[in-house]
Structure 1
């Protein structure tokens, strides 16, 4: 309700619109009070933060001028990130209370959970139960997250005192002199983003012991009031374990380690070892395909994982073993644009499995496996139509067929293929180095950076357009790709520990140019918060990246592609 101050000064009143509802409030009213007044109780309880233009505001943020706000709930990715940051703080607070001499590293996502391990030692069932019980008690106490502004040097001194040297070293690369810290009791932390107002907002979580660490489970978007069930992902965790071994070989766990390589002029050797590890892994997969006598190799995974380059490199390794592989892309089996299923907004759903001509694909595979020469389609993405002239393909020389595309292991595609003939490879950026021990770099953000650079350089698509498309791409991955990943016989991690300094060189200034008022600012700012902490690299380092590297698929000059 509109109110005047004692002098009738209307400048102390602000007008706020939230979800189409408008009212006036005293200047400086907190977001959570505006939310509780404009929304009904059930709606208000679901709000975790709000958006003002492209900026995310905490519920404890005072509003100082007229504005329009948008509610962010657990259904929004940013809402889930806010919840997870606060949940991680709660975990660290319990660790400090119960096991103050133990240090942890927060590593990688496992479904809707986060895998956490001790730097030294193991977490058993007893330790897991004790931490969960303490976290539940802290949530019941509804302790406020106190937001404080520190100098960078004060934060560095605090992290050194706590024994978090990785965090202290990382802040030396921070471009800003001030840093936002959050405090509860004796614990202060920085999680590179907005937090919840208090621990009482963290209503659903669970801890699952997973030797040698634990999985911290948050809710899923579908069931925000209960923690997601733990789903055993043995192949993913096996690949992650190998990734940790690679980190040891490379001597790089966190961003600071990569920066040291750049400063000490060791980055070229770092690139060579990184690429050699990829090559060794691909060679092992080729050996397994030949040993299994697989006829069809399904190569699938989410967007910007490097599937096409991986498929071409695998083909080279199979040729070394005397095979004659043939490579086809599921993209050539797209239906004409007018035949593709529509989304709720009436636009074609290009991520839907039925965007592919499944009957034609089944017919083509049946013909190839029976020894026939088959006329294969080609799809032109410029015209969004299948071209009239395709090409003939035969497996008469006995080589395996490599089939690459996001839907490779979907049951609609694989149901007619004899299981003993098929070999599935899930290709994705499965793990990445951390910013520091408590802040991982999400592989989805790395894939978005890859795609933004590729689209800008080779598809005449601005970085803003790529960011706009990304939520739909991610929704398609959650629905069509991730549920099938454990069907694969093997997983290949396309992450490269040196790629973020390279991608920074190409994307940083463009991301900086996106204004706060733009809807793309939220994601651009999130990506910048990662890239801030990496040193850029020069042309001499770029020249060291081999022409067959997965990264070349995105930055250009890959020798597999004429257009690059």
Structure 2
């Protein structure tokens, strides 16, 4: 009879990628030192989504334990994990003291020592009352605030080399497999750079995303200013009944940012094309409407153009490696016609604009003429708008590029992030059900493909934007929760999406629900929950 650890060690000899989790009789489990009899074992490696997420979470704990070990006098007041940047996590210290290169080197050295020691990451289950007491004694008050709303009577904690913490999600069995990471000084903190599931044994090059980091930094300061930076803080506001006023403040902050964008456009008199791009469920349509209103308030006559109206005819659409139509590649757009029309408009000529019929797969012309006058400006929305290959004939000075995304500034607590991707996924799930009648199973099944398209066609160009707009609101998951949960509960154990649905349901448990009726009618969130004043 063998233990699970022994079985994993034996199986690892046959595999290239690192085993980090297992399925025992179909149920996902952490690797533990327990005897196994006739159970069916499946091995989960770091080349899977859940495997690499577990790896990243485990390295994060490794870093926190190492930081705790070398900052014995608590000079820095501990670490807070703020947001994702350049395939890693941006971290800062609670006392906002400068991190030196020597400290970074010492931190990496201590992390490597813990890896070489191959220490077990011990899991313990405490009553919620005892967990609150433990973290209160250790000064982790963000966790105390979070656990005050805990429905379960128990909480799992993890211990590594004397350091104890709570984490949302599974953890590796021991430190010996956590070999691949790097740390870079960045801005006022540092980035813990981590591998991807595509190359789980390679740390990608660190590419400083200055514009993205600045937007995330600004959003983090907003959240801190409003006391909406953690889920526990958000739940407190819902409990105290003041979330409605905070919603209005958040909307005002976003409107202020839109006004700032219009003021930037006004300083560039040659701009005729406002190009807007962003990943799925960023709220591009509502943002375009609100931007257009502010443009009109400043004397412009905006006209909305959707790049999707310039799709090539269906039979000319490229196919992907699976033989399916690839509507997200640049070649799916009739680039020649798009540039011909935009150049004519720039030169003061008139065009008949097309409308793409998605049922017939063809462009249609219905006598809709367009000509740009002195005060006219085009607001163009499409996933390739930041890529100059889309608009190669247009002078750079005629284009103003905006990148929009839901860059979640909310964290579960100081060490557990709310993933920007998870926030967008919940948005899309709710919108797909409301507007297309699509169930959560379909949305989840498509999400991996959507993400691949974003990685290829959108994210590489985000730093090319003249400005970035964050459409995320700290309170939105409380509103989306009551709509998303029943959709996720419809996914059964027999569905391939069950494990992801289960993860999302566990994630949403953190949030107190909030009534969607309180959301302002012009909010970007209305694009997903419905009831907005714009046609989307």
TM-score range, shorter chain: over 0.9
Q: What secondary structure does 1:209 align onto?
A: strand
Over 3 Å counting, the alpha-carbon distance change for 1:397 and 1:95 in structure 2 is same
**Alignment partner for residue 147 of structure 2, among 171, 188, 192?**
171
C-alpha displacement of 1:394: 1.8
Q: Give 1:132 deviation, angstroms.
A: 1.1
Which of 520, 524, 531 lines up with 1:550 in the alignment? 524
1:158 aligns with 2:134: yes
Distance 2:413 2:513 in 1: 18
Contact 1:53/1:519 (8 A) holds in 2: no
Partner of 1:424, secondary structure, is strand
Unaligned runs of 5+ in 1: 1-25
- In the other structure, the counterpart of 2:466 is 489
Structure 1 position 430 matched with structure 2 position 403? no
Q: Is contact 2:220–2:409 with CA below 8 Å preserved after alignment?
A: no
Contact 1:327 1:401 in 2 (8 A): yes
2:89 to 94, 114, 128: 114
Do 1:286 and 1:318's aligned partners in 2 also have CA atoms closer than 8 Å? Answer: yes
| Contact 1:181 1:190 (C-alpha < 8 Å) held by counterparts | yes
Moved more, 142-151 or 196-205: 142-151
Report the secondary structure of 1:260's partner residue: helix
2:51 corresponds to? 79
Alignment of 1:97-136 (within 5 A): 97-100=69-72, 101=74, 102-122=77-97, 123-136=99-112
Aligned 8 A contact 1:116 1:215 in 2: yes
Structure 1 CA distance for aligned equivalents of residues 364 and 434 of structure 2:
25
Per-residue Cα deviation, 1:324-361 (whole angstroms, up to 9, x for no partner): 11111112122333322222222112222222222221
- 2:291 corresponds to: 314
After TM superposition, the structure 1 = structure 2 runs for residues 492-511 of structure 1, keeping only pairs within 5 Å, are: 492-511=469-488
Q: Indicate how the Cα distance of structure 1 residues 384 and 524 shifts in structure 2: closer, same or farther if over 3 A, else same.
A: farther
**Aligned twin of 2:396:** 419
- Say whether 1:343 aligns with 2:343: no
Task: State the alpha-carbon separation in 1 of the partners of residues 239 and 132 from structure 2.
Answer: 20
Is the Cα–Cα contact under 8 Å of residues 195 and 204 in structure 2 kept in the other structure? Answer: yes
Q: Which residue matches 2:304?
A: 327
Task: Map 1:365-384 onto structure 2 (within 5 A).
Answer: 365-384=342-361
- Please tell me whether the aligned partners of residues 18 and 177 of structure 2 are also in contact (alpha carbons under 8 angstroms): no
| SS of residue paired to 2:469 | strand
**SS of aligned partner of 1:276:** helix
1:355 maps onto 2:329 in alignment: no
Instruction: Confirm or deny: 8 A CA contact 2:317 2:331 kept in the other structure.
Output: yes
Given the superposition, is the C-alpha separation of residues 38 and 88 from structure 1 closer, same or farther in structure 2, using an over 3 Å criterion?
A: closer
Q: Which moved more, 1:390-399 or 1:360-369?
A: 390-399
Unaligned runs of 5+ in 2: none
Partner of residue 218, structure 1? 194
- 1:18 is matched with none
Return the alpha-carbon distance in structure 2 between the equivalents of residues 357 and 339 of structure 1: 10
Return the TM-score normalized by structure 2. Answer: 0.94
Q: Which string of whole-angstrom CA distances, capped at 9 and with x for unpartnered residues, describes residues 199-238 of structure 1?
A: 1111111111123211101123444323222111111111
**Structure 2 Cα separation of the partners of residues 243 and 351 of structure 1:** 29
CA contact (8 A) 1:54 1:517 kept: no
1:45-70 deviation per Cα after TM superposition (whole angstroms, max 9, x unaligned): 4333345798533343866665473x
Cα distance in 1 for residues equivalent to 2:475 and 2:447? 23
Matches within 5 A, 1:383-394: 383-387=360-364, 389=366, 391-394=368-371
Worse-superposed segment, 227-236 or 302-311: 227-236
Q: CA RMSD in A?
A: 2.1
> How many residue pairs were aligned?
530
Conserved in 2, the CA contact under 8 Å of 1:53 and 1:518? no
Distance 1:318 1:212, change over 3 A: same
Distance 1:139 1:312 in 2: 52
The 2-side partners of 1:84 and 1:240 are apart by 20
* Bigger mean CA offset, 418-427 vs 148-157: 148-157
Pick closer, same or farther for the CA change 1:38–1:120 going to 2, 3 Å: closer
Distance 2:170 2:37 in 1: 18
TM-score after normalising by structure 1? 0.89
In the alignment, is residue 137 of structure 1 matched against residue 110 of structure 2?
A: no
> Which position in structure 2 is the counterpart of 1:41?
14
Q: The residue matched to 2:68 in structure 1 has which SS?
A: helix
Q: CA deviation at 1:105?
A: 0.9
**How far did 1:552 drift?**
0.6
- Which residue of the partner structure matches residue 178 of structure 2? 202
Q: Tell me the secondary structure at the aligned position of residue 223 of structure 2.
A: helix
SS of the residue corresponding to residue 413 of structure 1 reads: coil
